[in-house]
Chain A
Amino acid sequence: MLTGRVWRYGDHVNTDLIIPGRYLDDYNAASLAAHAMEDIDPQFAGAVRAGDIIVAGRNFGCGSSREQAPLALKAAGVGAVIASSVARIFYRNCINVGLPVIICHDAAGMFASGDIAEIDLSGGIVRNAGTGECARFDPLPGFLLEILEGGGLVPFMKGRLAQGP
């Protein structure tokens, strides 16, 4: 079970808002984290706490393929992203860097910033701890859940390559 304080955002939060292009010559996760969400919410990087959860509307993470977007969020402490819909490259990148990502159409309407969200990843349930309101989502396919729970694609591939062909 993942539990965290909610940061609520709207529709079409793009990757330039999550981590602007001007910082992309830096691949250091901590440096990127300092600029996470800078152009949409300048307070975010300074106030986010470990385990906090982003809840957003449609098309979260649209735009660039920059893996620095989920990396910046993860390094800033974000424990999960929930959105009504998620752009496909961002979605894959989240799993690959080990940041839980949930597509749940009904969740966006259940939360305001500061609420506490609870997520049962394998059970497919998200709950507002304050109001008790729940919503269901399709859990990730088994192999993706395995990648995610193992910490992302790097540890997964490391294990696979170590086993040999």
Chain B
Amino acid sequence: MIPMTFAQRVLSRASGRSVVAGDIVQAKVDLAMSHENSALVLRSFREIGAERIWDPSKVVILFDHRIPANTIKTAESHREVRGFARGAELPHFYDLGEGICHQVLPEKGHVRPGMLIVGSDSHTTTYGALGAFSTGIGATEMASVWATGEIWLRVPETLRIRIRGKLAPHLRSKDVILSIIGQLGADGADYKCVEFTGDAVDRMSVASRMVLSNMSIEMGAKAGVCFPDATTDEWLTGRVPGWSGIDGDYGQNAAPDEQMDVEVSSLAPQVACPHQVDNVCDVTEVEGTRIDQAVLGSCTNGRLEDLAAAEAVLRGRRVHRDVRFIVVPASREIYIEAARSGILASLASSGAVIVNPGCGPCLGGHQGLLASGERCISTTNRNFKGRMGSPSTEVYLASPDTVAASAIRGEIADPRRV
């Protein structure tokens, strides 16, 4: 019997039959996540005449995009969703105190290897870092999941990306994924399940792997997976109730439909230039580009190791006087850890503005929008035109090290030489 790929294994289990790539299956969902757009989910849920959520224990709702409420409209929709969550007695409703969904769900032990997870957010691919098959859907479709617990899915082909080599100092998984997206293009992994393997991934922390899985969507992937190993196991221990350890086989031995090899030993810090994530170059090609704002945070790079990396670059130095440096820890847990370890005090001493855990300015909702003509370097995941403010702004994407180095210099800078 031919070994099944990761995607085939999860979707076979979830659909109760043996599937191959290209099949369309009706699958049972293990976990359904939605954030502020729960208001839109709720509207559809009511319109379809659904009376109750199929399994409240499998639904997570939280607010992260616009917290605390930035407008009266937001406040009203928060109130509506909050009221619904209380009325439906949802056991996993987190209000605005926890942070970004893609950090909070793993932290709170909702994510386990082998699960089928859907979320009404495109970066739901993040949970692949823990070995879940996890993908984004829209609000109305989420309403249907709330009602039935099921969704139709096409079984994707698999693209395995083998990442080898040791990253040089100041090089991060962000540089790796930007480089890969630059090579493959913004639709280079369309509809595919991307598997990240290789000794470079083996050495990465869960936080670093989350960056790979998170940004898989920026090349069109349906899911972006890192196979569970001892690092995964250690991370999940103490977080997942009743955790009994990882299984041996998640499809590592199956043959992918395509394979790509990436060598990262000689990689330079990468920057995605306006206005597409695949518009990637070495930092040396854009060094000296003046910036008005630097942002450290998001579901991509707002984790403790990201804050620590930026703090190490900035320690004892000042943010350039012409730069607003905004720091957004990804979750309450990270915020507390970063405060306890002195990272936040150090960043603030350097001139950073630290805001509450959440999505921050990443999607252009609040907490640091850009005025016309301004330029920002950010650890976030999208540099689309107008993404962080006025349509005539420019956003460059980079690692925490590169963003911190740039904040010091007031221009895009190479963290290896700052």
- The answer to the question of B24 belonging to the interface, with a C-beta cut-off of 8 Å to chain A, is yes
Q: Which residues of chain B from 119 to 171 have a CB within 8 Å of any chain A CB?
A: 119-122, 124, 136-141, 143-144, 147, 152
Please give, as numbers and ranges, the residues of chain A lying within 8 Å of B71 by CB-CB distance: 25
Interface SS majority for chain B: loop
- CB pair B220 A67 closer than 8 Å: no
- The answer to the question of A50 belonging to the interface, with a C-beta cut-off of 8 Å to chain B, is no
- CB pair B391 A39 closer than 8 Å: yes
Q: Could you say which of B44, B74, B385 contacts A154, with CB atoms under 8 Å apart? A: B44
Number of interface residues of B (CB under 8 A): 50
Q: Which residue of A lies closest to B122 (CB)?
A: A65
Cα of A158 to Cα of B65 in the assembled complex, Å: 30
- The answer to the question of A161 belonging to the interface, with a C-beta cut-off of 8 Å to chain B, is yes
Beyond A21-B363, A65-B120, A88-B190, is A157–B387 a contact (Cβ under 8 Å)? no
- The answer to the question of B293 belonging to the interface, with a C-beta cut-off of 8 Å to chain A, is no
- CB pair B382 A63 closer than 8 Å: yes
- The answer to the question of B276 belonging to the interface, with a C-beta cut-off of 8 Å to chain A, is yes
Beyond A62-B220, A65-B120, A141-B24, is A89–B147 a contact (Cβ under 8 Å)? no
Q: Which of B45-53, B298-306, B337-345 contacts A (4 or more CB under 8 A)?
A: B45-53
Q: Which of A11-19, A109-117, A120-128 contacts B (4 or more CB under 8 A)?
A: A11-19
- CB pair B384 A16 closer than 8 Å: yes
Please give, as numbers and ranges, the residues of chain B lying within 8 Å of A85 by CB-CB distance: 187, 190
User: Chain A 78-112 against B: per-residue CB contact (8 Å), 1 yes, 0 no?
Assistant: 00000001011100110011000000000000000
Q: Which residue of B lies closest to A84 (CB)?
A: B187
Q: Could you say which of B74, B137, B187, B387 contacts A21, with CB atoms under 8 Å apart? A: B387
Q: Which residue of B lies closest to A58 (CB)?
A: B187
Cα of A67 to Cα of B222 in the assembled complex, Å: 17
Cα of A63 to Cα of B119 in the assembled complex, Å: 14
- The answer to the question of A77 belonging to the interface, with a C-beta cut-off of 8 Å to chain B, is no
- CB pair B49 A158 closer than 8 Å: yes
- The answer to the question of A64 belonging to the interface, with a C-beta cut-off of 8 Å to chain B, is yes
- CB pair B364 A21 closer than 8 Å: yes
Please give, as numbers and ranges, the residues of chain A lying within 8 Å of B276 by CB-CB distance: 12
Cα of A88 to Cα of B191 in the assembled complex, Å: 6
Q: Could you say which of B141, B220, B386 contacts A96, with CB atoms under 8 Å apart? A: B141
- CB pair A27 B39 closer than 8 Å: yes
- The answer to the question of A24 belonging to the interface, with a C-beta cut-off of 8 Å to chain B, is yes
- The answer to the question of B73 belonging to the interface, with a C-beta cut-off of 8 Å to chain A, is yes
Cα of A162 to Cα of B51 in the assembled complex, Å: 11
Cα of A22 to Cα of B120 in the assembled complex, Å: 18
Beyond A17-B385, A157-B147, is A65–B48 a contact (Cβ under 8 Å)? no
Cα of A158 to Cα of B382 in the assembled complex, Å: 36
Q: Could you say which of B47, B136, B187 contacts A65, with CB atoms under 8 Å apart? A: B136
- CB pair B74 A25 closer than 8 Å: yes
- CB pair A62 B187 closer than 8 Å: yes
Please give, as numbers and ranges, the residues of chain A lying within 8 Å of B391 by CB-CB distance: 20, 38-39
Closest 6 CB pairs of A and B: A21-B364, A93-B138, A67-B138, A59-B187, A157-B48, A16-B384
Q: Which residues of B contact A (CB under 8 A)?
A: 24, 37, 39-40, 43-44, 47-50, 65-66, 70-71, 73-74, 77, 119-122, 124, 136-141, 143-144, 147, 152, 186-187, 190-191, 220, 222, 276, 363-365, 369, 382, 384-387, 389, 391
What are some 29 contacts across the A-B interface (CB < 8 A)? Answer: A20-B386, A20-B391, A21-B364, A22-B364, A24-B363, A25-B66, A38-B391, A39-B386, A40-B385, A62-B186, A62-B220, A63-B384, A64-B382, A65-B121, A67-B37, A67-B120, A87-B187, A87-B220, A88-B190, A88-B191, A92-B137, A92-B138, A93-B140, A96-B141, A152-B140, A154-B44, A154-B47, A157-B50, A157-B147
Q: Which residues of A contact B (CB under 8 A)?
A: 12, 14, 16-17, 20-22, 24-27, 38-40, 58-59, 62-68, 85, 87-89, 92-93, 96-97, 141, 143, 152-154, 157-158, 161-162
